């Protein structure tokens, strides 16, 4: 079989999908990095490779790092060569409810003159693995030869059917970072709780359980519900919980009879706000991640 021509649609995203590097490379993704500010310096998230050291420094206490969106110039540095090469650009980003990244992308697009019409910005209305699944769905459509509107439509279809929940060891990092969202009401609880949260346009409160074991089983229940709902393209993510993530993957394989689409660790930008101790899972319809769906008559 001959090699496929490069897709006419180029995909751009920020790193907050936390796709494994080889998965991002395989789908030809172009990336723009957010920043982490600590010790008086701004560092691109893409340049922070030692997650163990980063999360250990968070656990030491003191002032949390802060995070910021890419600059307009960062976006232009990615968009302009792609446009010059003749591509349409679909740029899928971290929820506008969590970050100014989408707005910065729009401002960059608006500086492109006539070429601005060839840049299509998508607010994922989510982050992390859910955002990653939207990116992979878009990549599948692009690989199948869809035009920009078809690529955007596939990403949004995948996003509309997404389910994604995560448990946290503590709400302290969300509280300190001001991103507590719908879990605000739980802060006054005298009980030691393990919150179950949703990841949509903001952090949403789902329920609270008393132990890590119950939190784990709640995520297993989500996987079972996803299978019943046809969301069989499943993923697992964590922060500093590799053994628990592996255990959840094992349960997921029993439920779905397939491997996850990917497993990965969430990095410093989102990690600053949620801390170590996150375990999450979610998914969408696996067929949306396949180029073949775009080739059906």
Spatial separation of the C-alpha atoms in residues 271 and 38, rounded to whole Å = 14
Specify the DSSP element, H or E, that contains 12. Answer: strand 9-14
Look up the pTM and report it: 0.91
Question: Which structural domains are found in the chain, ordered by start?
Answer: 9-34+69-160 (3.40.50.10170), 163-290 (3.30.1180.10)
Q: Which residues have C-beta within 8 Å of that of residue 137, sequence separation ≥ 6? A: 154, 155, 157, 158, 284, 288, 289
Q: Hey, what's the torsion of the CAs at 18, 23, 28, 29, to 10 degrees? A: 0
Residue 200 Cα to chain centre, angstroms = 10
Look up tokens 């709902």; give the residue: 229
Residue 105 Cα to chain centre, angstroms = 17
Beta bridge partners of residue 194, listed in sequence order: 209
- Asked if 264 and 19 touch (Cβ cutoff 8 Å), the reply is yes
Tens place of pLDDT per residue across the chain (297 aa) = 344 455 599 999 999 999 999 999 999 999 999 999 998 899 999 999 999 999 999 888 778 899 999 999 999 999 999 999 999 999 999 999 889 999 999 999 999 999 999 999 999 999 999 999 999 999 999 999 999 999 999 999 999 989 899 998 887 787 776 555 544 544 445 456 788 888 776 677 778 888 899 999 999 999 999 999 999 999 999 999 999 999 999 999 999 999 999 999 999 999 998 899 999 999 999 999 998 765 443
């Amino acid at each position: 079989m001959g090699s496929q021509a490069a897709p006419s649609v180029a995909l751009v995203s920020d790193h907050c999908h936390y796709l494994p590097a080889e998965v991002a490379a395989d789908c030809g993704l172009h990336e723009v990095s957010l920043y982490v500010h600590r010790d008086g310096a701004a560092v691109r998230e893409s340049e922070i490779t030692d997650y163990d050291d980063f999360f250990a420094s968070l656990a030491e206490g003191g002032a949390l790092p802060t995070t910021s969106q890419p600059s307009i110039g960062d976006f232009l540095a990615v968009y302009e060569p792609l446009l010059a090469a003749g591509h349409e650009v679909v740029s899928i980003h971290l929820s506008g409810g969590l970050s100014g990244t989408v707005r910065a992308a729009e401002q960059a697009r608006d500086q492109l003159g006539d070429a601005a019409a060839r840049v299509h910005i998508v607010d994922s209305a989510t982050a992390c693995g859910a955002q990653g699944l939207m990116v992979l769905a878009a990549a599948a459509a692009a690989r199948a030869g869809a035009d920009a509107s078809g690529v955007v439509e596939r990403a949004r279809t995948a996003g509309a059917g997404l389910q994604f929940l995560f448990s946290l060891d503590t709400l302290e990092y969300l509280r300190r970072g001001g991103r507590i969202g719908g879990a605000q009401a739980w802060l006054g609880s005298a009980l030691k709780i393990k919150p179950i949260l949703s990841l949509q346009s903001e952090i949403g409160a789902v329920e609270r359980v008393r132990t890590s074991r119950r939190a784990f089983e709640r995520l297993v229940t989500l996987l079972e519900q996803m299978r019943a709902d046809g969301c069989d393209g499943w993923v697992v993510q964590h922060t500093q919980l590799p053994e628990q993530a592996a255990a959840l993957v094992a349960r997921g394989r029993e439920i779905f009879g397939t491997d996850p689409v990917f497993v990965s660790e969430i990095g410093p930008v989102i990690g600053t706000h949620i801390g170590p101790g996150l375990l999450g899972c979610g998914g969408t319809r696996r067929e949306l991640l396949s180029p073949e769906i775009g080739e059906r008559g």
